[in-house]
A and B are shown apart, each in its own frame.
Chain A
């Protein structure tokens, strides 16, 4: 009965969408965005396991390369926007990177959004960005990267971080990755990941 009623509601929801499917324009900041779908590769190292949009570190190892991520295609110009929703479904570990904007030209993570105990989100090498990424809670992330100018991060609709950006080659990554001071285990589920450019 429990599952039956849920299935019925889901069917009704789908039917409602069929009758009046809204056009989705969810990108932040105004003006001239074009949706696109960059290619990606999946990276699983150490105890990292990727299953579609579920990214797990299954061990508590505090050393070595523990990684479960998607690495998207490189870009080198223009303005790029990333949007995605993550949900940490379990986290007995801490200090795990969830989203990176990687500077390929400098061979380093230009911007790394990580989570630690209690759901604090922070920039690796920087300050707190937001709180509230507790187990089970879905968090919306938007990043806007103007290559050669600026990188802005929005958490749940609020701008929480801004930094200047050099020119060069960059790419987006997301999933679960042990930072130098971190350790798993963690399971993170991403959804509704979208990209725009202008």
Chain B
């Protein structure tokens, strides 16, 4: 049994099975995040990391209470942010953290103005949507956003990616400078629906084929006695 399992592991290694997905399978020398976790009170942990992996578009922060997982995403942060506070934690519990760069191409953008009952499409001012810029392999195309009753919206696209981790729906409210992740959709998907909050009704939408870059080292802390 152990021989069989070992053989499978070796085969996986030889065929390049890893968590470092790259669009189109291109090999790229990446700078890995270096992560530290600090216990700033018995039940509060702060994470800090350094490094700028190539082509990072945002950063996934994850935690688990066992070193092998199960890891849960705490947040998607803009690429320029390098710190995160995890507050009011379970007492006397081990916490393990990792941060991972988000890679992958984003679609052309779509301006959404709800509650108009219509279908919004990629703007003609967008270079990528005009075809004047060659889109990266796997870029989602034909992105549209159709309004639904009660300020809902259905976003659709063409799935052009291979081995993607999933798709991210990214939204930038009209008065904000940065996109934030508003949805994390299964691989091979071609649509998602959401009921919008006010800031998502006058905003710019795009869809990203999502690949994980190389994860950081694991950082570990154990909380102290809380006051449950």
- Residues of A at the B interface (CB closer than 8 Å) are 1-2, 5-6, 8-9, 11-12, 14-16, 18-19, 22, 24-26, 28-30, 60, 85, 89-94, 117-118, 132, 134-140, 142, 144, 150, 152, 154, 156-160, 192
- B142 adjacent to chain A (CB < 8 Å): no
B226 to chain A, nearest CB (A): 8
B74 to chain A, nearest CB (A): 6
- B135 adjacent to chain A (CB < 8 Å): no
Point out the residues of chain A lying under 8 angstroms from B65, CB to CB. 26, 28, 157
Q: For B199, give the chain A residue with the smallest CB separation.
A: A118
**Docked-complex contact B87 and A158, CB < 8 angstroms:** yes
- B46 adjacent to chain A (CB < 8 Å): no
A57 to chain B, nearest CB (A): 13
Point out the residues of chain A lying under 8 angstroms from B12, CB to CB. 8-9, 11-12
- B81 adjacent to chain A (CB < 8 Å): no
Interchain Cβ contacts under 8 Å between A and B, 21 examples: A8-B15, A9-B17, A12-B9, A15-B5, A15-B9, A16-B9, A19-B9, A22-B66, A29-B92, A29-B228, A60-B150, A92-B148, A134-B184, A135-B192, A135-B193, A135-B194, A136-B183, A139-B72, A144-B228, A157-B65, A159-B88
**Docked-complex contact B17 and A8, CB < 8 angstroms:** yes
If A90-B193, A91-B195, A93-B195 touch, whether A135 touches B89 (CB-CB below 8 Å) is no
| Interface residue count on the B side (C-beta < 8 Å) | 55
Point out the residues of chain A lying under 8 angstroms from B194, CB to CB. 91-92, 117, 134-135
**Docked-complex contact B72 and A85, CB < 8 angstroms:** yes
Point out the residues of chain A lying under 8 angstroms from B9, CB to CB. 12, 15-16, 19
Q: For B45, give the chain A residue with the smallest CB separation.
A: A157
Instruction: Give A134 to B8 CA distance when docked, in angstroms.
Output: 36
If A91-B193, A135-B184, A136-B186 touch, whether A192 touches B70 (CB-CB below 8 Å) is yes
User: Would you give the 0/1 interface string for B54-85, flagging 1 where the beta carbon is closer than 8 Å to chain A?
Assistant: 00000000010111101011110000000000
Point out the residues of chain A lying under 8 angstroms from B91, CB to CB. 29-30
Instruction: Give A181 to B150 CA distance when docked, in angstroms.
Output: 14
**Docked-complex contact A2 and B163, CB < 8 angstroms:** yes
- B93 adjacent to chain A (CB < 8 Å): yes
Choose among A2, A92, A159 the residue that contacts B89 (Cβ–Cβ < 8 A). A159
Q: For A118, give the chain B residue with the smallest CB separation.
A: B197
Instruction: Give A14 to B8 CA distance when docked, in angstroms.
Output: 9
Choose among B15, B150, B200 the residue that contacts A118 (Cβ–Cβ < 8 A). B200
- B162 adjacent to chain A (CB < 8 Å): yes
Choose among B182, B196, B197, B228 the residue that contacts A152 (Cβ–Cβ < 8 A). B228
Instruction: Give A118 to B196 CA distance when docked, in angstroms.
Output: 6
**Docked-complex contact A28 and B182, CB < 8 angstroms:** no
**Docked-complex contact B6 and A15, CB < 8 angstroms:** yes
A144 to chain B, nearest CB (A): 7
